[in-house]
Each structure stands twice: as structure tokens, then as C-alpha cells.
Copies of this chain bind each other. A is one copy, B any other.
Amino acid sequence: MNIAVIGLGLIGGSMALELKQKGFCNYVIGVDNNKEHSESALELKIIDETCSIEEAIKKSELIILSTPVNVSSKIILSILNNIENQILMDVGSTKNELIEKIKSHPKRKNFVATHPIAGTEFSGPSAAHLGLFKNKVTIICDQKDSSSIALDRIKEIYDVLEMKIIFMTAKDHDVHSAYVSHISHISSFSLALSVMDKEKDEKNILNMAGSGFESTVRLAKSNKEMWTPIFNENKKNILEVLDNYIGKLNAFRDAINNNNESALNSLIQEANGIKKILK
């Protein structure tokens, strides 16, 4: 089977590598606006050829849309306009805006909305690697709006990638993502900014940064091309969690400012509840 991968980043590139290695497909056509990415993906043997989107769609049975979420929203209608029997899936971190855009499209049933929860703070085809998805979770959204043929095919992909599939509405997905993923990124970006504001002498950070700081700030290495569109597309949910988060920080601020030990103890003890949820 031929597949097309539109967007040759960490996720699209890693999927291409893994699906070919595992024999799900034998030929991968890659499309990326960024010439360097296309060339790098060819060199790294992530893809077998590169061409225009239209050509890639014609030559493939299955298309993986793995561009930043704003690009996906922009091009998904024209992709659907060009497909006949092909199956289209996306892998974006926000779902509702994309799905709203195509809800009355005659080819809606050929599309499956998915979000494999895998990734690192690195990006581009050079970050792609085998094993990225193994034993992680992927979400399929609004599955009733996809045909059973399309759905079965996409489930097969995620089985090949050794991911656990869970099902959710696109709306619920976007709410949970804001709480469990998007806010972590804003928190890390802001932490990096604060520390760099103060620590003009980088040596202090290097010398004093224990592993605690490193893990908390790791996501601040993530790129704007991916994250600015996510923050815009999931605006409503993100503002809700951001306000809640700033509220918690202010609770810490007040407790510290008032030397209120019992309030601090309560806040920390309550936060420790996360131990029961994550190992």
C-alpha cells in the first residue's frame, strides 16, 4: 500500500518510519512546504518521494495529515475535495475546529480524527524515530462520523504502532487536552521566561539547575509553529485552565505572603494527590 504523509515533522515522520518498517505500507509519499524538511526526509529514508499534495493524494490509498493544526484546518477541505475512496486521518492536538470545518462535507466519512499522545520537545524530520508511539495512548474522536471501513483501517494503524486507542468526542478531547497538555506547555514557557529574565548570567542556571528545574522547563523547548496554532484553536478551554492555574499560584502567593503555614501545607498536601494518579 502507498501512503501519503502531509507534514514531515516528528509525528508524521515517525509514523512513516514505523508503518513502513512494520510492513503496513511499502511506499511513502511525503509532502512538506518546507523544502529542507522534504529533502531531509528523503535523505533519512523516511519517505520514498516528494511531490505536490494533489499528486500525493492521487497516488495513495491513505493520507496522514500531520501539519500544525492551523495548516490542517486550512487545507483539509481541499484535501477532501480531491479524494475519491482514499482514507484521510489527522494527528493534531486540537480537534473541534478541524471537525467543524468539514462536518457537512460529502467525504466526511472518509476522515478519521485522531490524536496520538506521543511526542518530544524536538521537531522536524530529524527528530523522527522508531518506537515513539509504543505503549502510548491515541484518541479517536467522533468515531460515529467516520465510515466503518475508514475507522477499521485507522485502528489497524494504531495497532501496528502498538498504541492503546480510546474514544472521545472532539469537544471533550479539546477540554481534556487543555488541562492535561496545553497548560503544561504554557507553564514551562513562562517558567523559562521568568528564569531568563533574572538569570542574565547563564552560568547560574547551568550551575544551579537541579533535575527538578530541568524537567519542569523541558517543554519550553517546544516550537512556536506547532504551539501558537494550538493555543489559538483551543482558546476557550485554555483560557479556562489558565485562569484556574493563575488562581492556584495566587493561593500560594497569599499563603507565602501571610506566612500561613497551614494554608501552604494544605495546598502541597492536596497537590500530592497527583501521586495516586501518576506513578
Contact = CB atoms under 8 A, between A and B. Distances in A.
B246 A249 contact: yes
A241 interface: yes
A242 B202 CA distance: 20
Given A219-B216, A253-B242, A274 B192 contact: yes
A190 B116 CA distance: 26
Contact of A190 (B176, B204, B212, B249): B249
Nearest to A172: B204
Given A217-B278, A239-B256, A257-B235, A189 B139 contact: no
Nearest to A199: B179
Given A187-B187, A190-B252, 7 more contacts: A190-B248, A194-B241, A196-B270, A221-B272, A224-B264, A231-B252, A235-B257
B189 A176 contact: no
Contacts of A211: 120
A197 B274 CA distance: 11
A136 B191 CA distance: 22
Given A215-B215, A235-B256, A250 B244 contact: no
Interface string A239-279: 10111111011111101110101001101111111111110
A116 to B, nearest CB: 9
Contacts of A277: 196, 202, 205-206
A118 B180 CA distance: 28
Contacts of A131: none
Contact of A193 (B121, B185, B204, B271): B271
Contact of A270 (B193, B217, B246): B193
Interface string A106-142: 0000000000011111000000000000001101000
A27 interface: no
A184 interface: yes
Nearest to A240: B198
A249 B185 CA distance: 11
Given A195-B179, A278-B217, A207 B256 contact: no
A209 interface: yes
A20 B33 CA distance: 61
A270 B194 CA distance: 11
Contacts of A180: 195, 199, 204-205, 208-210, 213
